[in-house]
A and B are shown apart, each in its own frame.
Chain A
Amino acid sequence: MTTIRRLLALSGMSQSRVLLSLALAALAVGFGIALMATAGYLISRAAEHPPILALTTTIVVVRFLALARPLARYLDRLASHDLALRALGRIRATVYRRIEPLAPGELDAFRRGELVNRLVADVDALQGLYLRGIGPPGIAVVVGSACVAVTALLLPQAAVVLALGLALAGIAVPLLGARLARHVGRRRAAARGEVAAELSEVLRGAPELAAYGREDDAFARIAAADRQLRRLGRRDALVSGLAEAALALVAGLTLVAVLALAVAAHDAGTLDRVLVATLALLAFSSFDAVAPLSAAARELPGTLASGGRVLDLVDREPSIADPPNPVAVTSAPTVALENVTARYGPDEPAVLEGMSLQLEPGRRVALVGPSGTGKTTVTNLFLRFLDPARGRVTIGGRDARALRQEDVRRTFALAGQEAHVFASSIRENLKLARPEATDDELLDALRRARLADWVESLPDGLDTLVGEEGGQLSGGERQRLVVARALLADASVLLLDEPTAHLDPETAQALVADVFEAAGNRSVLLITHRPEGLDLVDEIVSLPAR
């Protein structure tokens, strides 16, 4: 309950919009129920053979309801989707504002790549908050009570039966359905994961399996995993339609009970004969108000779980903050790690231990070592995405913690294998480093990264879109674009984190040589596990394997 309340606050849904949307939805469902009940009344009343004029009012009501029901439903769908989209936009902006100071050092999401996708999927899932969490129960309560109230006016004992039926169909059935679905879902997810694992392994390794004559064995393994999934599927089939069937059963039996009560009441003289059919149709149609609850109950737990994860992130306070009285940064400073020990959390193992490294203005230093030895952590420390657990990071001789984060980051320009290329144009990607840069400056940076000729040969030039994650670029083009961006930033220290990853040796050597030439009098820290470029540096620092 608190999760829902906090998520609602996070989404900033305005109360009036929620009420409007609820009212429209309730009207739509209510009109539908009223249409059937009134039509039943019309027929029953007509059976008394009154003059046609006496039916006019009822006929007008029936026609009105027939027109009003689709209209209200239409407006309701628009209002609820507008609400969900507004909420989503608000949540995205808020979540972004909260996680921005945490990234990347304090967010697990960035250290285990797939978690970023889950974070975004979690936020996306919150658009179901209204459509499943508030809408269906709200409508059920409002419309269901109205139906019971109207029934109570006509025949109190029938109202009791209807209330019981609605409660059963609106609370017990959805809860039972959701429970079964969760149980089934967990088991199936496991079996499905097994098939997916087998499949992706066998498909990836298909050439080797064929090469070594093992394709029949592999096929048999997949077939076995698939058989297991199918067996589960058969078992689940029995459970899956149960909630819907139970709803139909409860609605039908309530109809029979209300009809029986109405017949008895009319026989006893306490109910007008015109109302027997009317009551039966009203009772039966009332279940339209609770029908969507089963689906909502199935899906809401997932939405809330997503919401819980999002709230955990939003609650996190960044440990890195600007000092109250920051000191200024000197231009072209010496930057250094002094006996630094670093870890990504108090309980996590040290990634670096007692590490020292000094980079004087204009010097070129290579940091080498096998993967997993904390090379990237060095860039995180310099950029102050992470503070050392022991020791200190200095910029111009001053502890980085005494400086403003913005000033620290202005000192460095980062070009790395993990540098992000945005799904935008070449121009937008470059301008990130210097928003006010002119086209000439952009082209100059591209020239220094040996990419200008290529860009100028493109029909759209700087406006060429690079695709998601720079997918429209080749590996070499992407790396050079990242380097051009770093050169454009005009920082005094260039951090190159594996700039030649995934490149063939010839291309790699050419790129490193070009960057060193373009770096001019900047200091350069080249982080690499490959031999290319090591002949061009002043000093090589090795990280020991751990």
Chain B
Amino acid sequence: MRALDPRLVQRARAVRALLVVDAVLAVVVALLVLAQAVLLAGVAARSFGGASLGEVAPSLVLLAIVVVVRAAAAWGFEVAGRTAAAAVVSRLRLDLVDARLRRTPAALDGTQTAEVTTAAVTGVDALEATFARYLPQLVLAVVVPLAVLAIVLSIDPVAAGVMLLTLPLVPVFMWLVGRHTERRARERWQALALLSNHFLDVVRGLPTLRAFNRGGVQAGRIAEVSDEYRRTTMGTLRLAFLSGAILELAATLGIALVAVVVGVRLAEGGIGFEAALTVLVLTPELYLPLRNLAAQWHASADGAAVAERMLDLADVPFAAPGSRPARLAPIAFEQVSFRYRARPVDVLQGVDLVVEPGETVALVGPSGAGKSTLLSLLMLFSEPTSGRILVGDDDLADVDPRAWRRLTAYVPQRPTLFRGTVADNIRLGVPDAGEGEVRLAAALAGVDDVLDALPHGYRTVLGEGGRTVSTGERRRIALARAFLRDAPLVLLDEPTADLDPESAAAVAAAVETLREGRTVLLVAHRPELAERADRIVRIDRGRAVEEAVA
């Protein structure tokens, strides 16, 4: 049986509260199950002995009340579970965002952003099933069988003996079967996913297939592949379902054995009718919670995997931020190396680089050489794996990151436009800037004409669901941010990549204005940008090589 990740229980008060509520409700349910059996058997037995409806009426009313309360308790389980699930998920989600936002904003690469979003939003379904169903079922599966066994033992030790004989089979089977099924089930879903992926691949490739006159041939292939997968999948299922069948067999055999053993003893006068009937009614209740638990197995497996992934992402190791005051001075990279988590090789291997105040340094080199990583390290988004960055005499790692970043303006290769107006986007670094300042920054970035031409001017809403702008406009809006920020150190990552010649020229002109009186470190592919720098440094295979002085 899958235990809860202790980190989760530790983290979320809601989980502990849920466990307490579940335990209380489980005891209530166990009591109701016993009451229902005793009342039902009592009514039947008294009727058997000739009692009239009037005589058993009070018992019937009690039975009706038990039924109502039992339904309410089942509802309570679900409500408690879902409420707790929402709380736990929310806690995990916020922890995760906190980790990414405040501690290591760029320590992980782009592909993982999508993964984090998926885990934090859609992964929730799996977690919700764990808390709303699996966990309550787990508590029920412990409490109810124990209660049933205890009462049967007090009624008829022989029947309890029969139960005890079959009952251990259930968890043992479940353990065996669970281990087995888990792997089998995973294989099964993999086969199904593979099949679906094949179809997706073919449909996505339809234009290409048709362009090469190969569209028609694939129809037969799809039928063939589907049938092939069906056969292999059915082979897997034959075994996977077998385990479920064995589990069920334990339950039905248990019922039959109890019925026969108790029935024979009853016929021989070894036990009373009411007692025998109580035992019989209780028998299915012994196995039911265990079988329900087995049915929730997948939910628990998925949920545990999601929780683990989210916890891993939220518990990123990070060093305590520095606290020294920030000031701008000559910047020196000393033997700086960096390796991304889960990557085999260093992106940067012992980079030495000095940037003097007021200087413009262009970083050039092939994609993937580590140029952007260099900027990230200078922004304190990550720490070097080895080596250090000195600012004057201070190690940058000891400097208060927020104070340091206040001295910088940073424009990444793919700037993000956040949901909000154009003006708010330019104001990102100076939230209280007036409209005149925003317009001046836009003019300096050479984007004011474009923005004035928008339907709502600077109040046009950008970002998801809002207006889309071209890559060049996006870059220049990000440059306007940098102008407005008016910071002494400017970091630009490929401001002209993927732009058509006119847009590239406009951005290059804006960069030229931005250089005035500032220290600029820019990553550049294109010669027109790099040539204007004071120095060009080539980053190749993780090392820095001084190239030429312009």
Contact = CB atoms under 8 A, between A and B. Distances in A.
Interaction A to B: yes
Contacts of B211: 383, 409, 412-414, 419
B386 to A, nearest CB: 22
Contacts of A413: 211-212
B297 interface: no
A420 B214 CA distance: 13
A210 B405 contact: yes
Q: SS class of chain A's interface: helix, strand, loop or mixed? A: helix
B207 A252 contact: no
A432 B209 contact: yes
Most chain A C-beta atoms within 10 Å of own C-beta, residue among B41, B67, B101, B280: B101
A47 B402 contact: no
Nearest to B80: A237
B248 interface: yes
B269 interface: yes
Contacts of A506: 366
Given A36-B255, A201-B416, A234 B121 contact: no
Given A59-B263, A210-B105, A234-B83, A205 B418 contact: yes
Given A208-B428, A409-B211, A89 B241 contact: no
Contacts of B262: 43, 46
Contacts of B216: 100
B429 to A, nearest CB: 4
A375 B67 CA distance: 70
B75 interface: yes
A447 interface: no
Interface string A242-254: 1011101100110
Given A212-B485, A267-B52, A432-B208, A55 B267 contact: yes
Interface residues of A, number: 140
A262 B53 CA distance: 9
A505 B87 contact: no
B106 A207 contact: yes
Most buried by A among B64, B105, B402: B105
A192 B90 CA distance: 12
Interface string B72-106: 10110111111101110010011001101110011
Contacts of A418: 207
Given A211-B379, A263-B53, A240 B82 contact: yes
Interface string A311-331: 000000000000000000000
Interface string A83-99: 00110111011001101
A200 B132 CA distance: 27
B199 A123 contact: yes
A202 B213 CA distance: 45
Contact of B206 (A104, A215, A504): A104
A229 B114 CA distance: 20
A472 to B, nearest CB: 14
A436 interface: no
Nearest to A248: B71
A423 interface: yes
A531 interface: yes
A514 B218 CA distance: 32
Contacts of B117: 196, 199-200, 203
B264 A385 contact: no
Contact of A35 (B222, B233, B255): B255
B256 A63 contact: yes
**Most chain B CB atoms below 10 A, which of A39, A255, A410:** A39
Interface in A483-500: 485, 489
Interface in A26-40: 32, 35-36, 39-40
Contacts of A36: 255, 284
B329 interface: no
A143 interface: no
A120 B203 CA distance: 8
A46 B100 contact: no
B121 A47 contact: no
B259 interface: yes
A226 B94 contact: yes
A265 to B, nearest CB: 9
Interface string A214-257: 11011100110011011001101110111011101100110110
B206 A100 contact: yes
Given A62-B259, A203-B100, A277-B44, A67 B252 contact: yes
A70 B83 contact: no
Interface string A65-83: 1110111011001100110
Contacts of A42: 259-260, 263
B237 interface: yes
A97 B202 CA distance: 12
A52 B267 CA distance: 7
A44 B48 contact: yes
B245 A52 contact: no
Interface in A110-161: 110, 116-117, 119-120, 123-124
Contact of A78 (B43, B57, B64, B238): B238
Given A46-B266, A73-B248, A236 B255 contact: no
A211 B111 CA distance: 21
A346 interface: no
A5 interface: no
B210 A67 contact: no
A277 B277 contact: yes
B226 A92 contact: yes
Interface stretch (B143-151, B407-415, B447-455, B533-541): B407-415
A39 B207 contact: no
A179 to B, nearest CB: 17
B267 A50 contact: yes
Contact of B410 (A50, A92, A211, A222): A211
Given A219-B101, A252-B68, A213 B402 contact: yes
A72 to B, nearest CB: 10
B264 A46 contact: yes
Contact of A233 (B86, B248, B269): B86
A505 B365 CA distance: 11
Interface in B212-236: 212-216, 218-220, 222-223, 226-227, 229-230, 233-234
A436 to B, nearest CB: 12
B372 to A, nearest CB: 10
B161 interface: no
A345 interface: no
B244 interface: yes
Interface in B470-504: 470, 478, 481, 485, 500-501
Given A42-B259, A233-B83, A215 B252 contact: no
A392 to B, nearest CB: 20
B212 A489 contact: yes
Given A39-B256, A78-B237, A209-B105, A55 B264 contact: yes
B97 A385 contact: no
B113 interface: yes
5 contacts: A116-B200, A199-B120, A202-B97, A211-B379, A409-B213
Interface of B: 36, 40-41, 43-44, 47-48, 50-53, 56-57, 60, 63-64, 66-68, 70-72, 74-75, 77-83, 85-87, 90, 93-94, 97-98, 100-102, 105-106, 110, 113-114, 116-117, 120-121, 124, 132, 195-216, 218-220, 222-223, 226-227, 229-230, 233-234, 237-238, 241-242, 244-246, 248-249, 252-253, 255-256, 259-260, 262-264, 266-269, 273, 276-277, 280-281, 284, 366-367, 376, 379, 381, 401-402, 405-406, 408-410, 412, 415-416, 418-419, 428-429, 431, 463-465, 470, 478, 481, 485, 500-501, 525-526
Given A47-B48, A435-B214, A504-B525, 20 more contacts: A43-B262, A51-B267, A66-B252, A92-B199, A96-B219, A100-B218, A197-B464, A199-B116, A202-B101, A203-B97, A214-B431, A245-B71, A259-B43, A276-B48, A409-B213, A420-B207, A423-B198, A432-B212, A489-B212, A529-B500
The 10 A-B pairs with the shortest beta carbon distances in the complex, nearest first, are A241-B78, A89-B226, A252-B67, A233-B86, A205-B416, A66-B256, A420-B205, A237-B82, A39-B259, A212-B429
